[in-house]
Amino acid sequence: MTIEFEAPKPIVNQQVMLKTVAENMMRPISREFDENEHEIPWSYVEFMHMAMKAAGGGGGLTVMEEKTSPPAPLLEGEGSQKRPPIGYQKLATQIEMLAWGDVGMYLITPGGGLGAAAVAAAGTPEQKEKFLTRFNSDIPTYAAMCMTEPGAGSDTSAIRTRAVLDDKTNEWVINGEKIFVTGGDKSFTHYEKLGKGFIVVWASIDPSAGRAGMRAFVVESGTAGVKINKLEKKMGIRVSDTAAISLVDVRVPFENMLGSATVEKNNTGFRGAMATFDATRPLVAASGLGVARAALEFLKEKLEENGVKIRYGLPRQKLSNVEREVIDMEIMLKSAWLMTLKAVWMADNKKSNALESSMSKVKAGDVTTKITQKAVEILGPIGYTREFLLEKWMRDAKITDIYEGTGQINRLVVARQILGYSGSELR
């Protein structure tokens, strides 16, 4: 199989629609919802839910729905050949364009997010049917992942949330605390305009077994014992809620656990759920690159307004410093996007992409931060003022390097993959 660099027609068609949404529904209210953190732009949420449902992608951005869509036939006359699957590639380009509009609003586009991705990666067919089909409902629905704790960030072995099986009721009883849960409020709290979502809570069923004892549990919205303690006030992606959640004697059905209840040395349950990140890290990369593209395009627009047009094709020594800076930024952006495309192509073709997934996330986090910061530096007061969105994009950019595994952690993953070390051998 080969990687196609020309975007398939379904992706080209969707980009036209999404750019219209980004320009007319996201950009005009971007500043308003940045300044009024945690307010929900219902008109955008409801429109995107219905538009994506009508387009056949379910009621929002959901990895499972995109991933399992059957390959479409190639052009007539090509016999029984099928077009390679493009589910993740399609999702990545959707996300890049929406993040170009406003990355915080992209994050509140209805869909399953990380929560649904965990079910898709480690759930049984019955669990997928039960939990993932709800994103096709007539009202917007969300799901979220609850992993980070006050004493356990990137080191998942330090997770202290505990799940104990009650043999009398055949229910899991969960106790613990989770922080920095992206979309946790909309996924769990009841809003009249939202469907019944869920959070996926990571907990240990056997602390003595370390990571082998870790499991993920689907906790549906409204479950007793779950409390949203606070919503974080953040530097960027302010329209997206980031919640702190406590779980006190939370009871969930036995069948809501993802993976086997048996603690095994080969750690299949933990590894299966961790495959979530191999699928979603390139999507995080895509969201960051959408922000970087927005900043770079704005920079070039303002430079041209002031008589500075990039002269491509000349030797570097004949270019001005600003021209060299812009060309270098374009090179960074395009190389990061190609790396992201490779990672999603591998996901679509069911190839192991742990290395490429983390590489794309590292590269995008680095590139997005550098491009937005450099754009602000070059434009000076224009970049710093709140009259334009560039300073917001610089604030929004940094999260790309932090969530779903920091740049440092993903560099460790890359090093382990290349050098053949285990997590305990290279920390």
Smallest Cα–Cα separation from 171: which of 222, 226, 228, 218? Answer: 218
DSSP, residue by residue, 259-302: S-SS--TT-HHHHHHHHHHHHHHHHHHHHHHHHHHHHHHHHHHH
Q: What's the distance, CA 205 to chain centroid?
A: 27
Tokens, residue 371? 């491009």
Name the phi and psi angles at 6, rounded to 5: -90, 125
Q: Are 340 and 286 in contact (CB under 8 A)?
A: yes
Q: Are 347 and 285 in contact (CB under 8 A)?
A: no
Q: CB-based contacts of 101: which residues, under 8 Å, 6+ apart? A: 18, 21, 22, 23, 25, 26, 27, 30, 290, 294
**Burial degree of 130 (CB within 10 A; 0-12, 13-18, 19+):** middle
Give, as one character, the DSSP assignment of residue 256. G
Smallest Cα–Cα separation from 245: which of 262, 258, 232? Answer: 232
The single residue listed with the structure tokens 């106790």 is 175
Query: CA separation (Å) from 54 to 45, 50, 57, 130?
Result: 14, 6, 8, 22
Angle formed by the axes of helices 87-107 and 27-35, nearest 10°: 50
Q: Judge whether 356 counts as a catalytic residue.
A: no
Neighbours of 256 (CB within 10 A): 22
Bridge partner list, 215: 203
Catalytic residue among 6, 304, 404, 425: 404
Say what the alpha-carbon torsion angle 134, 139, 140, 144 is, to the nearest 10 degrees.
-40
Residues taking part in catalysis: 404
